[in-house]
Chains A and B, each alone.
Chain A
């Protein structure tokens, strides 16, 4: 998820607001300057200057603004225009000294744009104007109307210039400072907004997490009761089949009952596989200390009733190198061992005199290596990859759901482990499982 607004967007939007507000103010100021010029024209009958110079200034400003609306050139023009008004007023009032202050008014007005550079055109114009007109008056030209003094001494001129420089400098400084402050403010507002947005996102995430947990729990309950409701009638059927087997049966019926039994077992196995798959993919890993000896005893007890009449008992040998506690998810380990050992029983080699499956476990501080070896029918090498796929069955004689090894692989991966297969048809199969010790 990305945040709705970037800092740059917010920064630009705020500066645009400053610009619009200042532009609006400029309209009033320029109108006032023009009107003031007309007012001053009354004194020395300078109507032409007031309308001509003032009017041209306004035209210059609005033309620039209209022609280059996206550039801030018109702001530099307004800076020049303030200088020109100063010169115009000084002239209109025949050098009245106070008219020089107009430059300071202009300088102060420009602060609103928060751009210190806007002081430059005004200052430049004032310098050029003073130098030119001061010099012309000094040379004795008539009707320059720069000052009411006969001429300005160099000392007065320097002090005049010095003070003006200070005013421009300070107004420029304020503009710069206001800009800095504005940026700090934007940043704070932005950070605050971002914080609130993040908070909102975090809350949304927490909420969806909670909903997910709830729906997972509901799903778990659903799977639990569905599997129970599906399996309960099957186990009743198996029970009734068991009752039939206890009595004497006609061979024809006996055969049919045994077919019935294997079908029921197949369906039951399928439901159990789906249940295991669903639990493995949804439930979190529940780490606890695992005693392999107990675990294997439980698994073997569960498988004890698995052998059908046409299958011999398969000897289950276990070799556990104990000493270090192993931590992992017991029920997942049980799923893995159950599937692999039952496969060894199911796919035993009829030619073999002594069918066996050997489970050896070696535990270290960081991992456990489980090796399951059998002398069963084995798997052709071209099928080594495929046997782990969902619903893959090697042959039509395969009796399982085609989910067993897929579930084993998924479960091993859920425990961050790796499973490898070595097998040769007619010799047997070895599964090597490497699982991390989840002690820490």
Chain B
């Protein structure tokens, strides 16, 4: 996975977790730019207008599951209705504290989800993604 623009989006309602993800990815040089989104709705609003500027899309999206108002799975439900060029460009990884088998199963069954990661994100886990 060596993309040209290493832009990564993190969707999480927890500000500390956003900060951790951003710091880990920047320190390990995993990403040049980390877009932190505090809610699933905000993330969708960010992605939608980019269908005519696909070069600005993040190539990876780290998605939390347990979020108020709109969960990670709600996000995936709306994500599948986005234009194809957006969907093709982005790879989604679930990043959650959940150890629930159902959450894992649901995530693995979803075609857009590449992996299911448990928090916290650290340099070892990032090293595995490279």
Residues of A within 8 A of B (CB): 224, 227-228, 231-232, 235-236, 238-240, 242-243, 246, 272, 275, 304-305, 330-331
Residue of A nearest to B102 (CB): A224
Given contacts A239-B16, A246-B27, A304-B124, 8 further A-B contacts (CB under 8 A): A232-B66, A236-B16, A238-B119, A239-B21, A242-B24, A242-B123, A246-B123, A331-B101
User: Is B100 in contact with chain A by the CB < 8 A criterion?
Assistant: yes
Closest CB-CB distance, A249 to chain B, in whole Å?
Answer: 14
Q: 1/0 per position for B91-113, CB-CB distance to A under 8 A?
A: 00000011111000000000000
List, in ascending order, chain A residues with CB within 8 A of B97's CB: 228, 231-232, 235
Interface of A is mostly: helix
List, in ascending order, chain A residues with CB within 8 A of B27's CB: 243, 246
Q: How large is the interface on B (under 10, 10 to 19, 20 to 34, 35 or more residues)?
A: 20 to 34
Contact A232 B14 (CB under 8 A): yes
Contact A228 B98 (CB under 8 A): yes
Q: 1/0 per position for B18-47, CB-CB distance to A under 8 A?
A: 001101100110000000000000000000
Closest CB-CB distance, B89 to chain A, in whole Å?
Answer: 27
**Sampled A-B contacts (30; CB under 8 Å):** A231-B97, A231-B99, A232-B119, A235-B97, A235-B118, A235-B119, A235-B120, A236-B16, A236-B20, A236-B119, A239-B16, A239-B21, A239-B24, A239-B119, A239-B120, A239-B121, A242-B24, A242-B123, A243-B20, A243-B23, A243-B24, A243-B27, A246-B23, A246-B27, A246-B28, A275-B99, A304-B124, A305-B124, A330-B101, A331-B101
User: Is B78 in contact with chain A by the CB < 8 A criterion?
Assistant: no
Contact B17 A239 (CB under 8 A): yes
In the bound assembly, the distance between CA atoms of A49 and B124 in angstroms comes to 123
Contact B122 A242 (CB under 8 A): yes
In the bound assembly, the distance between CA atoms of A252 and B27 in angstroms comes to 23
